């Protein structure tokens, strides 16, 4: 008799998921994945990223040891733990057994796709949980996840000078009086003055992008005669030429932990500037399931995408296979001093 467990196991699931196209998340490039052992990450943050001049000295004298304690802060955070499971029920097992014993490979593949697809949904949910944390950092400089199980509230210490909320006629929804180009230039100047680094990339929602696109001053500057249709491509080229800034529009939603609330990946009325390159890392720690593997215990576990653990467990009453997906993860934000977050409405 065919053992369903030979097909429903972490190795087969990992092979199935890895072969599928992976969603291209902007946070992946800004906070690349990095694996480490344990549960804690230590984030080292410079005061302003400005160079300190070398002190003069006399010949034939002992060298002076530079003290960086005033320039660098070190903070250790414990990475949060996430896990959830799906169950292959007795009826699912029976359907799969019948499909495997028959010659109908289409039926078999359909059932396997449904079973593996449930687990892939958990894995995609793990990735979206990480992306939510990255986007919260870009939008607020902090992580704030409230659920019925455990709240995660982490303040990464964004400076007051690195954020602004526009008021009155300066708000970008005032298409006549506001001036997004001068605002962006002013924010760039402020970051460069403090850190020596000029931010040249930006993210925002499509709603925020539309405010720039429909702004009267911007439209007149691009085409005073009003004879050109200002598309997204035209506006992106204009902003790149005018300010040296490349804008990426972030779209999409996710379902929160209550299984009903739809939340935007990036908030509608926020415009965030940051420099080129990575802003930190997404650290993956050791899950309890992975720890069982390391210690040689009989866990049936595979690790995919740097740190997501896929575990299968057989249960006898009722006869089921539980597939669990778990991760221990947290983004760092070493370049938080080099960004600017504006609330534009």
The end-to-end CA distance of the chain, in Å, is 65
Cβ atoms 262, 273 nearer than 8 A: no
Return the DSSP state at 295.
T
Q: Choose among 78, 71, 39: nearest CA to 53.
A: 71
More confident residue, 313 or 2: 313
- Residue 55, pLDDT > 60, answer no
Q: Give a yes or no: residue 313 inside a domain.
A: yes
- Residue 64, pLDDT > 50, answer yes
Residue 319 — very low, low, confident or very high, per pLDDT cuts 50/70/90?
confident
Q: What is the C-alpha to C-alpha distance for residues 106 and 101, in angstroms, rounded to an integer? A: 13
Q: What is the C-alpha to C-alpha distance for residues 129 and 131, in angstroms, rounded to an integer? A: 5
In this structure, what CATH number is given to the domain that contains residue 206?
3.90.1690.10
- Residue 253, pLDDT > 70, answer yes
Q: Give a yes or no: residue 56 inside a domain.
A: no
Q: Give a yes or no: residue 64 inside a domain.
A: no
Helices (H), 223-266: 232-243
Instruction: Tell me the average pLDDT of the chain.
Output: 86
**Phi, psi (rounded to 5 degrees) for 308:** -85, 120
Q: Give a yes or no: residue 218 inside a domain.
A: yes
Return the DSSP state at 338.
G
Q: Give a yes or no: residue 100 inside a domain.
A: yes
The residue range of the domain holding 220 is: 1-48+70-345
More confident residue, 215 or 292: 215
Helices (H), the chain: 10-19, 26-30, 90-101, 105-140, 180-195, 206-214, 216-222, 232-243, 288-294
Tens of pLDDT along 168-213? 999 999 999 999 999 999 999 999 999 999 999 999 999 999 999 9
Res 137: pLDDT: 96
Res 3: pLDDT: 60
Most confident of 10-14, 72-76, 122-126, 144-148: 122-126
Cβ atoms 251, 131 nearer than 8 A: no
Q: Give a yes or no: residue 58 inside a domain.
A: no
Q: What is the C-alpha to C-alpha distance for residues 8 and 313, in angstroms, rounded to an integer? A: 10
Res 52: pLDDT: 47
Residue 297 — very low, low, confident or very high, per pLDDT cuts 50/70/90?
low
Res 40: pLDDT: 80
pTM (two decimals): 0.86
Residue 72 — very low, low, confident or very high, per pLDDT cuts 50/70/90?
very low
More confident residue, 216 or 56: 216
Instruction: Write the CB contacts of 9 (distance below 8 Å, at least 6 apart in sequence).
Output: 300, 312
Tens of pLDDT along 126-145? 999 999 999 999 999 999 98
Res 109: pLDDT: 77
Instruction: Write the CB contacts of 170 (distance below 8 Å, at least 6 apart in sequence).
Output: 177, 178, 179, 183
Task: Decide the pairing of beta strands 246-249 and 201-204.
Answer: parallel
Q: Give a yes or no: residue 57 inside a domain.
A: no
- Residue 2, pLDDT > 60, answer no
What's the number of domains the chain is made of?
1
Q: What angle do CA 309, 312, 317 make, to 5 degrees?
A: 150
Helix (H) or strand (E) holding 190: helix 180-195
Return the DSSP state at 154.
E
Helix (H) or strand (E) holding 324: strand 319-331
- Residue 73, pLDDT > 60, answer no
Res 8: pLDDT: 79
Q: Give a yes or no: residue 12 inside a domain.
A: yes
Res 296: pLDDT: 59
- Residue 42, pLDDT > 90, answer no
Q: What is the C-alpha to C-alpha distance for residues 250 and 267, in angstroms, rounded to an integer? A: 9
Please state the rounded mean pLDDT for residues 10-35: 88
- Residue 111, pLDDT > 80, answer no
Residue 45 — very low, low, confident or very high, per pLDDT cuts 50/70/90?
low
């Amino acid at each position: 008799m065919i053992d369903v467990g030979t097909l429903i196991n972490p190795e087969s699931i990992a092979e199935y998921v890895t072969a599928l196209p992976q969603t291209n998340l902007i946070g992946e490039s800004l906070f690349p994945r990095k694996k480490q052992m344990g549960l804690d990450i230590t984030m080292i943050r410079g005061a302003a990223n400005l160079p300190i001049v070398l002190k003069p000295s006399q010949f034939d004298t002992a060298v002076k040891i530079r003290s960086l304690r005033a320039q660098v802060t070190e903070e250790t955070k414990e990475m949060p733990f996430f896990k959830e499971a799906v169950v292959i029920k007795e009826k699912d097992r029976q359907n799969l057994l019948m499909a495997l014993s028959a010659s109908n490979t289409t039926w078999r593949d359909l059932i396997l796709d449904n079973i593996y697809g449930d687990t892939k949904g958990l894995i995609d949910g793990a990735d979206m949980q990480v992306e939510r944390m990255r986007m919260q950092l870009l939008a607020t400089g902090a992580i704030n996840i409230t659920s019925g199980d455990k709240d995660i509230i982490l303040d990464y210490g964004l400076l007051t000078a690195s954020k602004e909320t526009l008021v009155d006629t300066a708000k970008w929804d005032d298409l006549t009086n506001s001036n997004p180009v001068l605002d962006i230039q002013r924010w760039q100047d402020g970051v460069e003055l403090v850190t020596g680094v000029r931010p040249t990339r930006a993210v925002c929602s499509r709603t925020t992008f539309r405010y720039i696109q429909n702004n009267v001053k911007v439209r007149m500057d691009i085409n005073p005669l009003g004879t050109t249709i200002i598309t997204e491509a035209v506006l992106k080229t204009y902003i790149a030429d005018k300010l040296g800034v490349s804008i990426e529009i972030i779209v999409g939603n996710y379902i929160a932990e209550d299984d009903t609330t739809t939340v935007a990946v990036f908030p509608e009325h926020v415009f965030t500037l940051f420099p080129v390159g990575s802003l930190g890392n997404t650290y993956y720690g050791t899950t309890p399931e992975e720890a069982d593997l390391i210690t040689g215990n009989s866990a049936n576990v595979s690790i995919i995408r740097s740190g997501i653990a896929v575990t299968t467990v057989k249960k006898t009453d009722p006869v089921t296979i539980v597939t669990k997906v778990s991760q221990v993860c947290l983004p760092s934000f070493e370049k938080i001093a080099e960004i600017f977050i504006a609330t534009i409405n």
